[in-house]
Structure 1
Amino acid sequence: MLVCLLRIEWTTTSKSNSDIRSRSSLNCSQYTDDDEILVSFPFHVDMNPFTRVLTKTNGLMNDEGHIYHLNIINQKFFPLTIFCLKHLQQLYIRNMSFRNTNHRLPSEIDRLASTLISLSIYNSQLTHLSEQISRLKHLQSLELVNTNLMELPYSIGNLSSLTFLYLANNQLSSLPDTIKNLSVLSQIVLKNNLYLRSIQSLNGLPNLKGLQIDNCPIEQLPMNLPYLTDFQMSKSNLSHLIGIRTLGYKTKNNKYFYFNNNHIQSIPPQIKYVNNLYFLNLNDNHLITLPLDIFNITTLHYLYIQNNHFRDYELKKIVAKFTVTHPYMTLYYTKSNS
């Protein structure tokens, strides 16, 4: 019994030491300035190019010799020494395999905690983020697009400065509840996450103004987003708009809502409570009628109801009614093909 306990303790200690060595393997003290760090990269970086070519790796350096912007393009190897750049504010990565980091964002990202304000990774293989990303207290913009990202760490809720979150074309299946802690987050893009079935974790975000979640199999609207003005939720699995009155109720700014290409069968009377509804796209749904309440929304200037299931006489009545109540409104309508 004693031997077994000792063996378990040694294994645990060994693993802990291995983790510590892994975290401390990056030795930035050997570099005296940013130029030496650049030399350590396995690829060339054009600094302060007269013309910035979108297909070539480049960067920007200030008069003090500090690199504050990096745009890394078409590289296979991610050099950890990037995290030794003490003044880096913007890091953009395109077409990188991240093979040497096991398709994960390295935990050493926290070395940029005091400077990084924008992180953008496109068309790369990055399936997971490190929990250490939560230490980027100044990060305002996070873009991970077409990276096969599978999940967000729970610690993402600690990004207290984050205002823009762009996660399109990934493999997300859920969102952590901690995302609602992002109190200054104003824009989210989640389109083309084909396994994402719920966005209820976003409920209650206090300052969210724009939300784009097209082409996701989501069945319910988010709730209680008081400042939402731009909402795109087309090509989803919506069958109703229950809860729509809880969107944008604290702002008088015009609302632009896109619900086209869903399975919506009816519009709730509560739609009349949407504050300053200006644009509403209901094309390609299963509507057979509209509630009387929609004719009382005097702020509505654009309405799309093409390719629904209205009968001819019902559609004629709707058009005639809007001609009287909304002579200023642009109405798009056609008979459904079905």
Structure 2
Amino acid sequence: METQSTDQENILRLLLSGQEKNIVLGLQLAESQRIDIADLLQDIDILCEWWLGKDKINEITDKLVQIVGIEEIAKGNAGFDRIPPQIKYMLNLKELSLPYNQINTLPLEIGTLKKLIRLSLGHSKLSSLPSEIGCLAQLRELNLTYSQLHFIPPEIGHLKKLLKLFLYENHLTTLPSEIWQCSELKELLLSYNKLNTLPPEIGNLFQLESLDLSHNQLQSIPLTIGNLSQLQRLDLSNNQLYSLPAEISNLKKLKRLSLRQNQFVSLLREIGQLESIEELILGDNQLCSFPQEISKLNQLTQLIIYHNQLRTLPEEIGNLTQLRRLHLKNNQIEVLPEEISRLINLEYLDLGKNPISDSEKVKIKSLLPNCEIYF
């Protein structure tokens, strides 16, 4: 299939060169390869009309060689409702970026684009992918966000060089087991789907640096999450989690952890071993007490615990000397410990909708004279 497409591309270049000897050679090659010139030109007519538009059809002769040899297509919001099968002639294509179009299906011929490195079709009407997607052996980035996908073909596991996979805002209830064979993945974004479980094989993604599973229906996280030793960003917000596995303490490079809007009433001690964490988001849970383990996170710059049931903060809060922003809105806090004065880098403190007396507000302001405070 690829050899024939290459022959067709070469013949087209000869026919459109404008030189008599090349045209003759092109016709001879077509005859020897049993390639129907009429069919070939009709295919190219379709490709040019798709690429140039009907109103520019007169430009085909001048532009065709450039079109066939093009390496990048980036046309967002261009009114495309399809990708024609004739795209198979664009064998040099390395990037195909058509976001914000009305494309609802991919041609099987997409698999002939062996040089493709980046495929971006976000904000489309795609509801399925052909198995030929697995033929894109050089693919590094696949962006199918804000589409209507209900499943991913198992052939995605053939994309051994894939570094970025963006599938958020779809209708996925499960993922093929083969997806965990994409062991070079660095970014995996799966938010706003309908996933309710994660298999242990997620731990095979040893190179993963960013994992977004927010806005799903997860009730638990597998122990193998601890295998993701390169992970720097983990978003588990808006799920149905009430606990985390102790193995999360292995994520020594984790810088950002979001557990917002789950069902946590407490946090495990191991969270205090996330030595690189800079941003911890715990808002919209049911925490009744401040997890003392947090006081060990000496790299923390932002701590968000709004909309919980906190009544007090421990004296150890003063250990978070790198903290710049502290969000405690909508809790049951009445007083803050004097040790909060040790937060010399604190720039923003939100204590809104807490039962804090006027005298306590005065004291807090005196303890943090350089901080912007909201009551």
Q: Is the 8 A contact 2:229 2:250 kept in 1?
A: no
1:96 and 1:322 map into 2 onto residues whose CA distance is 49
Answering whether residue 246 of structure 2 is matched by residue 197 of structure 1, we say no
Name the structure 2 match of 1:53: 77
2:193 and 2:148 map into 1 onto residues whose CA distance is 9
Structure 1 residue 55: Cα displacement: 7.9
5+ residue gaps, structure 1, are: 1-29, 40-44, 334-338
Question: Residues 54, 303 of structure 1: CA spacing in aligned structure 2 closer, same or farther, 3 A cutoff?
Answer: farther
1:54 and 1:172 map into 2 onto residues whose CA distance is 37
Structure (1 or 2) with the greater helix fraction: 2
Structure 1 residue 89: Cα displacement: 0.9
One-letter amino acid matched to 1:127: T
1:34 and 1:225 map into 2 onto residues whose CA distance is 53
Instruction: Kindly report which structure 2 residues correspond to 1:121-200, keeping only aligned pairs within 5 A, or say none.
Output: 121-193=167-239, 195-200=240-245
Name the structure 2 match of 1:213: 259
Structure 1 residue 31: Cα displacement: 5.1
1:299 and 1:187 map into 2 onto residues whose CA distance is 23
Q: Is the 8 A contact 1:248 1:255 kept in 2?
A: no
One-letter amino acid matched to 2:346: L
* Larger displacement relative to structure 2 (271-280 or 255-264): 271-280
1:241 to 290, 311, 325: 290
Name the structure 1 match of 2:128: 77
Question: Residues 34, 220 of structure 1: CA spacing in aligned structure 2 closer, same or farther, 3 A cutoff?
Answer: farther
One-letter amino acid matched to 2:143: Y
Question: Residues 289, 76 of structure 1: CA spacing in aligned structure 2 closer, same or farther, 3 A cutoff?
Answer: same
RMSD, matched Cα: 3.0
Residue identity over aligned pairs, in percent, reads 25
Normalised TM-score (structure 1): 0.75
Q: Is the 8 A contact 2:321 2:343 kept in 1?
A: no
2:190 and 2:366 map into 1 onto residues whose CA distance is 48
Deviation track 1:66-111 (CA, whole Å, cap 9, x = no partner) reads 1111123211222111011111111111355545xxx3x4332221
1:326 and 1:98 map into 2 onto residues whose CA distance is 51
Q: Is the 8 A contact 2:132 2:155 kept in 1?
A: no
Name the structure 2 match of 1:87: 138
Normalised TM-score (structure 2): 0.68
Deviation track 1:6-44 (CA, whole Å, cap 9, x = no partner) reads xxxxxxxxxxxxxxxxxxxxxxxx6559999xx9xxxxx
One-letter amino acid matched to 2:157: D
Answering whether residue 276 of structure 2 is matched by residue 227 of structure 1, we say yes
Structure 1 residue 122: Cα displacement: 2.4
2:79 and 2:265 map into 1 onto residues whose CA distance is 40
Q: Is the 8 A contact 1:226 1:246 kept in 2?
A: no
5+ residue gaps, structure 2, are: 9-42, 44-49, 52-70, 96-112
Question: Residues 264, 48 of structure 1: CA spacing in aligned structure 2 closer, same or farther, 3 A cutoff?
Answer: same
Structure 1 residue 290: Cα displacement: 1.5
Structure 1 residue 171: Cα displacement: 0.9
